[in-house]
Every structure is written in C-alpha cells, then in structure tokens.
C-alpha cells in the first residue's frame, strides 16, 4: 500500500504533514505505549488500529498550532486505552454478577433448611437424580405424574429415585449421620 492513499483531505494549510507520514512515523511509538499500558500484545495491536482509525477520521480537526501530531495521536491512544479499560472493567463486573447469580441458583432453595451434610449429599447427585428427588419427595408427585413430566417410564422413575436415595444415604453414612 502506498502512503499517499492514506492521506485524508486537508484544508488549504499545506504546511501540516500528511496523515500517512504521521501514521508511518508514530506506529511503533503508539503500539509501544499501548503495550506498556495494557501489558497484552494482542490488545495493544487492536487498540493501535483503533487509535489510527480514530486519528484518520479526525485528521481534519488536527491543528498543528495547538501541538505536535505525536502528542495529538498519543492523546487519542490514551483515550482509546482508557475506554478499553473501562469497558473491560464493566465486562468483568457483568461476568462476576452472572457467576454469583449462577452460584445462588445452584444452591437454590432445594437444600434450604437441611443439615449441611444432607445439603452436600444432595448437591453431589446428578441433575436427573436431583430432579426425581424434588418431584417425588419434595413436591410429592406420584410415579406416574413424575414419569409423564420427565418423559420416562414409571419404572425408570422408581429406579432413578432408588439410586439417588441410596447415594444420599451412603454419603450421609460417610458423615456418620445415618446409624
């Protein structure tokens, strides 16, 4: 690519350097600055691209009387990095909230009010086993209703419930809770 193709149209002031010349001269400096800030080469590369894209779009507004092109482009790089840090912080908070909500959903009300040992034993069951225990024991559905709801046979419901309760009983024995 030729540097001339990157020139943004300028006003009548021909003493100002072309965008292409500025970009070529400052590329390594901007990348190094952003790498120092982010400590991540991939993020620094992305932010460098964003910086020069923004600088290109705003090149017509650059006023050489107010400062050097270097200072102007580095100010854009700093703003780009700060925006990225803010967005990254928001993303991390969202992920932490989602993770906390997921943990709350996992512990839910199923084991609420039970002994810690029983809660732990119930949590070790598979999702299918916990579902059968909830439907049959907690919600007191009969075998036919549970089978219809789960889309399995009544025999499969009985077998799954029996195995789940055996696992819970065995784990409770491990905790010396069942005699």
pLDDT-derived band at 5 (thresholds 50, 70, 90) equals very low
**Mean pLDDT of all residues in 147-159:** 90
To the nearest whole percent, how much of the chain has pLDDT over 90? Answer: 47
Fold classified for 116-174: Arc Repressor Mutant, subunit A (1.10.10)
Taking the domain 3-106, which CATH number applies?
1.10.1740.10
Q: What average pLDDT does the structure give for the chain? A: 84
- Cα–Cα distance between 56 and 130 in angstroms, integer? 59
Q: What is the dihedral of CA 51, 56, 58, 61, to 10 degrees?
A: 120
What are the residue ranges of CATH 1.10.1740.10 in the chain?
Answer: 3-106
pLDDT at 113 over 80: no
What are the residue ranges of CATH 1.10.10.10 in the chain?
Answer: 116-174
**Mean pLDDT of all residues in 150-173:** 90
Structure tokens at 161: 């419930």
| Nearest residue to 80 via CA among 25, 39, 43 | 43
């Amino acid at each position: 690519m030729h540097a001339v193709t990157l020139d943004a149209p300028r006003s009548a002031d021909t003493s100002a350097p072309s965008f292409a010349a500025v970009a070529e001269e400052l590329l390594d400096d901007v990348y190094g600055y952003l790498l120092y800030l982010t400590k991540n080469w991939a993020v620094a590369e992305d932010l460098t691209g964003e910086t020069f894209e923004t600088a290109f779009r705003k090149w017509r507004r650059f006023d050489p009387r107010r400062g050097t092109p270097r200072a102007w482009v580095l100010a854009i790089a700093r703003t780009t990095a700060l925006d990225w840090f803010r967005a990254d912080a928001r993303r991390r908070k969202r992920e932490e909230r989602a993770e906390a909500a997921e943990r709350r959903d996992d512990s839910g009300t199923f084991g609420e009010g039970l002994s810690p040992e029983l809660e732990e034993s119930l949590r070790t069951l598979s999702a299918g086993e916990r579902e059968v225990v909830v439907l049959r024991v907690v919600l007191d559905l009969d075998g036919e209703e549970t089978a219809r709801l789960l889309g399995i046979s009544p025999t499969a419901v009985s077998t799954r419930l029996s195995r789940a309760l055996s696992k819970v009983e065995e784990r409770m024995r491990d905790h010396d809770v069942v005699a």
